[in-house]
Amino acid sequence: MFALNRVMAYKKDEKTLAADVKISLLDAFGKQWKGRGQIQKRAVAAALRLWISLPEDLQAKLISQELGKNDFLSLVRQIVDERIHLSRRPVSKNNRKKPAKKARRKG
């Protein structure tokens, strides 16, 4: 269960987020952010940014636990690989844009 509370926030543009999660998940999270010298608040905010950028159908699968940890990582790797592949694809000569002509100065 999540709770948002404006009273406990330290800054005007922030709200406090609280959630009941499994101890094992919280312990694993704690080891990562502490071990890497990260700030817990920023790690949670980054996770939320990632979450809201996911398609709704993927969010539903994650909530229902249809995707396991490795399935999710495989999906992320596949998306990244596809984007890298698309960015490296050569542009055909016919599809290349011609450079814009420079305007002549009058004078």
Mean pLDDT of 12-30: 87
- Please write down the HEC assignment for all residues of 9-76: CCCCCCCEEEECCCHHHHHHHHHHHHHCCCCHHHHHHHHHHHHHHCCHHHHHHHHCCCCCHHHHHHHH
Number of domains in the chain: 2
Instruction: Read off the pLDDT of residues 26-85 as tens digits, 9 standing for 90 and up.
Output: 899 888 888 888 888 888 888 889 888 888 887 887 788 766 666 777 777 777 777 788
Range of the domain at 11: 1-53
The amino acid that residue 61 corresponds to is: K
- 45 shares its domain with 2: yes
How much is the pLDDT for 27? 92
- Please state, in angstroms and rounded to a whole number, the distance separating the CA atoms of residues 20 and 45: 17
Residue 22 resides in a domain: yes
For the chain, first and last CA: distance in Å?
Answer: 71
